[in-house]
Amino acid sequence: MTQIKKRRLPGVFLLPNLITTAALFSGFYSIIASVNTDFISASIAILVAMVLDGLDGRIARLTNTQTSFGEYFDSLSDMICFGLSPAILVYMWSAPLFDLQSWQTNKLPWIICFIYVASAAIRLARFNSKSQTLDKKYFIGLASPAAAAVIITFIWMIEASSSTLLGQQWFGLLMLPILSFLMISNITYYSFKDFNIRHRVPYIFLFIISLVIAFISFDPPLVLFSFFLLYALSGPTMYLMSLLRKKKSFSHEKKPSKF
The pLDDT-based confidence of 38 (bands split at 50, 70, 90) is very high
Domain ranges of the chain: 14-240
Per residue in 124-147, pLDDT tens?
Answer: 988 888 765 566 778 888 999 999
Q: Model-level pTM?
A: 0.84
Q: What is the model's pLDDT at position 147?
A: 94
**Which class would CATH give 14-240?**
mainly alpha
Stretch 30-34: mean pLDDT: 96
Q: Where are the beta strands (DSSP E) in 166-252?
A: 188-190
The pLDDT-based confidence of 167 (bands split at 50, 70, 90) is confident
User: In terms of DSSP H, where are the helices of 36-165?
Assistant: 39-62, 68-79, 85-93, 107-130, 144-160
Per residue in 58-69, pLDDT tens?
Answer: 787 777 777 888
The pLDDT-based confidence of 2 (bands split at 50, 70, 90) is very low
Virtual torsion, Cα 131, 135, 139, 144, nearest 10 deg? 30
The pLDDT-based confidence of 28 (bands split at 50, 70, 90) is very high
How far CA 76 is from CA of 95, 138, 175, in Å, comes to 27, 22, 24
